[in-house]
Amino acid sequence: MNQTDNDSKESFTIFNWRQAIPSFITLLAMLAGFLSILVTIEGMTSHEPHLFRLASQLIMLSMILDGIDGNVARRLHGESEFGAELDTYVDMTAFGIAPAILIFAVSMQTQVPLLRILLPSVVALSGVVRLARFKAKDPLRGQGGYGGLPITANAGWVALFVFITQTPPLDNFSLNTGYVSTLFLIGILTFVVLQVSNLRYPKPTKKMILFIPCVIVVLLFVFLGKNMEKPAMYIAILMLIMGVGYVLFGPLFVKTMDYKKNKAKDALDDK
């Protein structure tokens, strides 16, 4: 057995409970994303709008679990290469493939190829490119901020937009309606371009004062019962507005923070 094999064996055997707990949460995020795909497929065959709403909720649940696992790993000092690699597969499944399939399902009635075939393909492929670029160019895995819009932003836009347009009374504004589908399309294409841009975005999950309220809001959205669609829809609208705010003002926040850091550094250098 060579040295590389020994190193690999040693790395595997030191996988301890501190690393196992966040990895288990990551697997739960993966499961939520996978279940979203299954529920979407079921909705396509049964034509039940509540299944598309459930699929959207599962994407949002996966998103919040994906943020929790990193925080737990840092608190427990349980970061690991295995956990980092596992997280990439969650991102692709829950925030790349699941939203793409959901778009395909809810646009089945339209005859516009851009919505029916091309748009889900663009979402899936751009997600792959985004994650590959993220892994290749960001060894800190977003701890210093993201280069380009994170893939979760587009997934959130899709999930929340679908939930809102599948919930009474706004279900009359379906994705097959001209101006609604146009808004949906513009949002997705904008997010896709920003994903591969050089704009820098902050990592919200690092600031617990911001992340904890987000966790509470998402959990409320996810676990409101079947007869609570309208309150859930209002929460979805709120989260959609928050997400758009992040997309618009995230780079400005990063620039402001960089300016303050540079100014403080210059002040120290002058002393």
Band (57; pLDDT cuts 50, 70, 90)? very high
User: What residues does each domain of the chain span?
Assistant: 14-262
Per-residue pLDDT reduced to its tens digit, 103-160: 999 887 666 777 788 889 999 999 888 888 877 766 555 555 678 899 999 999 999 9
pLDDT above 90 for 239: yes
Q: pTM for this structure?
A: 0.85
- Say whether 143 sits in a helix, a strand or coil: coil
The neighbouring-strand residues paired with 147 are: 200
Query: What pLDDT shows up at residue 204?
Result: 79
CB 174 within 8 A of CB 165: yes
Task: Give pLDDT, residue 59.
Answer: 97
Length of the chain: 271
Among residues 150, 94, 154, the alpha carbon closest in space to that of 123 is found at 154
Q: Are 119 and 107 in contact (CB under 8 A)?
A: yes
Q: Which of 50, 67, 48 is nearest to 215 (CA)?
A: 67
CA distances from 204 to 47, 129, 157, 246, 264 (A): 36, 22, 16, 9, 23
Decide if 217 contacts 224 (C-beta within 8 A): no
pLDDT mean over 40-58: 92
Q: Please, what sign has the CA dihedral across residues 231, 234, 240, 243? A: negative
CATH of domain 14-262: 1.20.120
Using the predicted structure, report yes or no on whether residue 186 has a pLDDT greater than 50: yes
Predicted confidence (pLDDT) per residue in 189-214, tens digit: 999 999 888 888 988 777 788 889 88
The contacts of residue 86 (CB under 8 Å, 6+ apart) are 23, 26, 27, 30
CA 54 – CA 50 distance, rounded (Å) = 6
201 strand-pairing partners: 146
* Alpha-carbon gap, residue 36 to 40, rounded angstroms: 6
